[in-house]
Structure 1
Amino acid sequence: MRQLSVVRRVVLLAGPSGSGKSRLACESGLPVVNLDDFYHDGDHPGMPRDPDLGIIDWDDPRAWDGERACDTLADLCRTGTAEIPSYDISVDSATGSHTVDVGAAAVIVAEGLFAGEIVAACRERGILADALVVRRSPWKNFLRRLARDLAERRKPPLTLVRRGIGLARRERALVRRQLTLGARPVGADGVRAAIRAATEAPSGMP
């Protein structure tokens, strides 16, 4: 009798910064890939900038390397291991890399602000299990995001406050874009249910 090999698939988990997607991904107990590690370095040609703050606009998809992220997820699904950049927003660049080994896991959670940008590409590659976007109150996200960014000293406090207010005002448009790209809106319980359903789906093939 031939041994079954694992068919790995990805749950893409999008959502505004501060929406709790990282916590929900880790809570699943599954291997997690942080898609924010695939931002371009700050000196990459064409990096978008916030016209008011003068810093890189991290909420513009042009700041993010979706093609590299999708290629890496495909490699991870195929081989079970992949090298992931380690990005530090405080210095606007990757500071190294780390290896992700998913072992025998059949489902991987890939979470990040722009996860919806690669829904179609992951579907075409046959690795998409589900695509979700966390939808919460923008001002709750603002408070969670500010507390996190201050604790991590990502940027000067005044910059973080000004940027956070701007993000809160644009947040609904960001979520709508993820919906048009193929993600479906869910709350925290919906994320848990979707991930549970993905793990219960058949994962082996002869």
Structure 2
Amino acid sequence: PLVPGSTDIDWDSAQSWDADAAVAAIMELCRTGRTHVPVYDISTSSRVDREALHIERTPLFVAEGIFAADIVERCQELGVLADALCLRGRPTTTFRRRLLRDLREGRKSVPFLLRRGWRLMRAERRIVARQTALGAHPCGKEEALGRLAAAAAGRCRRAVRTPVPE
């Protein structure tokens, strides 16, 4: 999808993501400890490969990203959700961190990164509200770290309700 009124690809639109493939990969990862994940070349806006992801005996893994909350309900119903978090902070801080990361990684042209960053900074409060409405708990770094530790220890608020099917 394109950003309205622009020729920029809208990577922040849920239409740019395959939620069904993400849920299938999570289920496989929880069932077997391994799955295959896509490899993207952000500079060319394309999927270029797949690679194996192994978690072996890790009791918990973190799926992160702007669309993670889109599958909270499904993952909870499937019994594979320990918690759902949405990190929130100052929009200007998020803008700065995102821009520095994207420039360092050469993700896109500077004008594109500035346009996208500005658009996301202005929308950040709406993004957090959307994530919260989808079931993610908005919190800062310290609370998130505490909740992750609790989830890893099996003391999370969203306990796994049903076993993962074999």
TM-score (normalizing by structure 1): 0.73
Structural mapping, 1:25-174, within 5 Å: 48-174=1-127
Q: Which amino acid aligns with 2:112?
A: T
Change (3 A) 1:51 1:93: same
Superposed displacement of residue 53, structure 1? 3.6
- Secondary structure of the residue aligned to 1:130 is coil
Q: Which letter maps to 2:123?
A: R
Aligned CA RMSD, in angstroms, stands at 1.5
Residue identity matched to 2:154: A
Does the CA contact (< 8 Å) of 2:85 and 2:144 recur in 1?
yes
8 Å contact from structure 1 (residues 53, 159) kept in 2: no
CA distance in 1, matches of 2:26, 2:118: 33
Report if the CA contact (8 A) 1:49-1:55 is conserved.
Answer: yes
Q: What is the aligned partner in structure 2 of residue 185 from structure 1?
A: 138
List per-residue Cα deviations over 1:52-106 (Å, max 9, x = no partner).
Answer: 4412101111111111101100110001110111112211111111111111111
Q: Is the 8 A contact 1:81 1:102 kept in 2?
A: yes
Structure ranking higher in strand proportion: 1
In the alignment, the residues of structure 2 paired with residue 126 and residue 51 of structure 1 have an alpha-carbon distance, to the nearest angstrom, of 37
Q: Is the 8 A contact 2:88 2:128 kept in 1?
A: yes
CA distance, structure 1, for counterparts of residue 148 and residue 116 of structure 2: 32
| Aligned residue type for 1:112 | G
Percent identity at matched positions? 42
Which SS does the other structure have where 1:111 is aligned?
coil
For 2:113 and 2:130, locate their aligned partners in 1 and report how far apart those are by CA, in whole Å: 24
C-alpha displacement of 1:191: 1.2
Residue ranges of structure 1 left out of the alignment (5+ in a row)? 1-47
C-alpha distance in structure 2 between counterparts of 1:191 and 1:164, whole Å: 24
